[in-house]
């Protein structure tokens, strides 16, 4: 049997196993061992199982992932997301739909220091959605504001997904992280503008007025100072070359811990919970990364990436149309698969194609993560929609209904980054 055919059968077998609810990492590892064993031999395949797992998990650059996750868990436990929301609400309370805009803005600010989409969406679901419901906001609008803001945790640095992309492609992690900043802020502004436009177009989605929040401007500043400070030190140090990516994550985690202890918001129980959740999430990411590397090596042996690249270059299509087709595949997968799984499965195949077409690898990384953001909101999987629906008890159908306009806004943001690559590449170029 030709190696290319073995690779295609292996890819189909992996999708079948995932459809049968086999954990993604185990499906990838099982197919990689079986396929590599068929081509090379079982003993070399089992040998790679041991060597790849150790070598993959011991990569120094991966140490940044637990630090970023710990930072997000500590800040979430310390209630920083709630503080940012209350502060923005104090500024925007006169605006029609101000609570929805404040929710998206607070999610953006919290994402800039936590790097966690789930933590951001969970925090806003608990804090902002009950407040919006109390003032008569439409349930779909309330849930959508919390869910769509949470997606930015995967794009705005620090982001574990951007780090993982850098490890999988060997792109400079610092540059990949920084590249997500401008597209992330742009996307947040577009989402906030969408929320404002929606309530102007359909006034029933939001009330006309409400009482002034019981919070002075000075108090609002005191509540929110930690978010820009931690971001400036952690990401600013990375951008200006003061920190390596790992040191940047360590600095952020230390500052998050110091903030929680100084403000006395982190007791022993909350600290233990944050550490425990960090271990669980980090283990999941590391296992998927090891599986992705093994599956990528299996694909390399089958010569699938080279065959795919050769086939794509022989097709009489313009490069931008090929990129559009690749992202249509990401759209389809985002509706039925987890974003981490898509990243580790598709990157080893698509990255060489993108490089052969002459595109920038950092730019492709930002676009990949932006495509995954849509998957966090797309039925039937839509992880963040289930998180928000479960925490707020708003029916899933209402959540998806409220999200539809924001989903198109995310597509607009993706189109802008495709049309203007400098949005993602300008800051990384200044670091080189």
Residue 381 has pLDDT above 70, yes or no: no
In this structure, are residues 327 and 274 in contact, taking their beta carbons and an 8 Å threshold? Answer: no
In this structure, are residues 61 and 246 in contact, taking their beta carbons and an 8 Å threshold? Answer: yes
| Whole-angstrom distance, CA of residue 394 vs CA of residue 387 | 11
Other residues' Cβ atoms within 10 Å of the Cβ of residue 188: 24
| Whole-angstrom distance, CA of residue 144 vs CA of residue 141 | 5
Does 3 sit behind a cis peptide bond, omega within 30 degrees of 0 on the bond before it?
no
Scanning 20-92, the segments in alpha helix (DSSP H) are 24-39, 42-57, 64-77, 80-92
Q: Which pLDDT value is given to residue 77? A: 85
| Whole-angstrom distance, CA of residue 191 vs CA of residue 194 | 5
Q: Which pLDDT value is given to residue 216? A: 67
Mean pLDDT to the nearest integer, 310-332? 75
Query: pLDDT digits over 209-260, tens only?
Result: 566 666 666 776 777 788 888 888 988 898 888 898 889 989 999 999 999 9
Report the C-alpha dihedral over residues 70, 71, 72, 74, rounded to 10 degrees.
Answer: 80
User: What's the token pair of residue 351?
Assistant: 């990255």
Angle (CA) 357 369 155, round 5°: 130
Q: Using a pLDDT cut of 90, give the percent of the chain over it.
A: 16
In this structure, are residues 102 and 92 in contact, taking their beta carbons and an 8 Å threshold? Answer: yes
End-to-end CA distance of the chain: 46
Mean pLDDT to the nearest integer, 317-333? 77
Crossing angle between the packed helical segments 160-169 and 268-302, to the nearest 10 degrees: 30
| Whole-angstrom distance, CA of residue 404 vs CA of residue 415 | 17
Residue 200 has pLDDT above 80, yes or no: yes
| Whole-angstrom distance, CA of residue 233 vs CA of residue 242 | 10
| Whole-angstrom distance, CA of residue 55 vs CA of residue 93 | 53
Q: Which pLDDT value is given to residue 363? A: 94
Q: Which pLDDT value is given to residue 254? A: 94
| Whole-angstrom distance, CA of residue 259 vs CA of residue 273 | 17
Q: Which residues contact 366 (CB under 8 A, 6 or more apart)?
A: 155, 162, 176, 179, 180, 183, 417, 424
Query: pLDDT digits over 263-305, tens only?
Result: 888 888 999 998 998 898 888 888 887 887 788 778 778 877 6
Grade residue 336 by pLDDT with cuts at 50, 70 and 90.
low
Q: Which pLDDT value is given to residue 272? A: 92
In this structure, are residues 104 and 192 in contact, taking their beta carbons and an 8 Å threshold? Answer: yes
Q: Which pLDDT value is given to residue 360? A: 92
User: What's the token pair of residue 366?
Assistant: 């930002």
Mean pLDDT to the nearest integer, 77-86? 80
Q: Which pLDDT value is given to residue 215? A: 66
| Whole-angstrom distance, CA of residue 355 vs CA of residue 350 | 9
Q: Which pLDDT value is given to residue 217? A: 66
Whose tokens are 């620090």? That residue is 158
Query: pLDDT digits over 125-179, tens only?
Result: 888 888 888 778 889 898 888 888 878 878 888 888 898 899 888 899 889 999 9
Q: Is 388 exposed, middle or buried (0-12, 13-18, 19+ CB in 10 A)?
A: buried
Q: Which pLDDT value is given to residue 211? A: 64
Q: Which pLDDT value is given to residue 312? A: 66
Residue 316 has pLDDT above 80, yes or no: no
Rg (CA), the chain: 22
User: What's the token pair of residue 211?
Assistant: 């009482």
Does 145 sit behind a cis peptide bond, omega within 30 degrees of 0 on the bond before it?
no
Mean pLDDT to the nearest integer, 90-104? 79
| Whole-angstrom distance, CA of residue 325 vs CA of residue 10 | 22
Mean pLDDT to the nearest integer, 416-426? 92
Whose tokens are 């070359």? That residue is 241
Q: Is 314 exposed, middle or buried (0-12, 13-18, 19+ CB in 10 A)?
A: exposed
């Amino acid at each position: 049997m030709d190696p290319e055919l073995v690779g295609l059968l292996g890819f189909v077998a992996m999708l079948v196993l995932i459809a049968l609810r086999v954990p993604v990492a185990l499906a990838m590892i099982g197919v990689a061992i079986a396929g590599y064993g068929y081509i090379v031999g079982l003993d070399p395949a089992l040998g790679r199982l041991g060597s790849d797992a150790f070598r993959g998990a011991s990569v120094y650059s991966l140490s940044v992932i637990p630090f970023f996750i710990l930072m997000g868990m500590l800040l979430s436990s310390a209630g920083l997301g709630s503080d940012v929301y209350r502060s923005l609400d104090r500024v925007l309370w006169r605006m029609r739909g101000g609570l929805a805009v404040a929710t998206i803005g607070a999610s953006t600010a919290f994402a800039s220091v936590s790097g966690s989409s789930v933590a951001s969406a969970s925090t806003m679901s608990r804090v902002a959605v009950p407040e919006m419901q109390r003032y008569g906001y439409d349930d779909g609008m309330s849930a959508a504001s919390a869910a769509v803001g949470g997606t930015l945790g995967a794009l705005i640095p620090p982001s574990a997904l951007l780090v993982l992309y850098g490890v999988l492609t060997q792109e400079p992690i610092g540059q990949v992280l920084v590249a997500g900043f401008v597209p992330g802020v742009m996307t947040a502004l577009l989402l906030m503008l969408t929320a404002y436009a929606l309530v102007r177009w359909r006034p029933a989605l939001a009330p006309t007025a409400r009482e002034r929040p019981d919070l002075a401007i000075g108090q609002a500043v005191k509540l929110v100072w930690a978010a820009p400070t931690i971001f400036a030190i952690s990401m600013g140090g990375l951008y200006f070359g003061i920190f390596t990516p790992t040191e940047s994550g360590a600095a952020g985690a230390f500052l998050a811990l110091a903030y929680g202890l100084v403000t006395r918001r982190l007791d022993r129980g909350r600290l233990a919970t944050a550490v425990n959740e960090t271990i669980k999430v980090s283990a999941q990411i590391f296992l998927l990364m090891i599986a992705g590397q093994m599956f990528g090596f299996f694909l390399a042996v089958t010569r699938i990436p080279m065959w795919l690249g050769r086939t794509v270059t022989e097709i009489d299509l313009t490069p931008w149309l090929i990129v559009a087709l690749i992202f249509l595949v990401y759209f389809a997968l985002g509706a039925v698969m987890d974003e981490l799984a898509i990243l580790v499965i598709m990157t080893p195949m698509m990255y060489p194609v993108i490089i052969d077409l002459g595109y920038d690898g950092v730019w492709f990384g930002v676009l990949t993560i932006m495509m995954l953001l849509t998957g966090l909101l797309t039925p039937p999987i839509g992880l963040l929609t289930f998180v928000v629906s479960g925490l707020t008890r708003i029916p899933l159908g209402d959540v998806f209904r409220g999200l539809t306009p924001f989903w198109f806004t995310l597509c607009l943001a993706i189109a802008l980054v495709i049309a203007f690559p400098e949005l993602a590449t300008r800051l990384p170029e200044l670091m080189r």
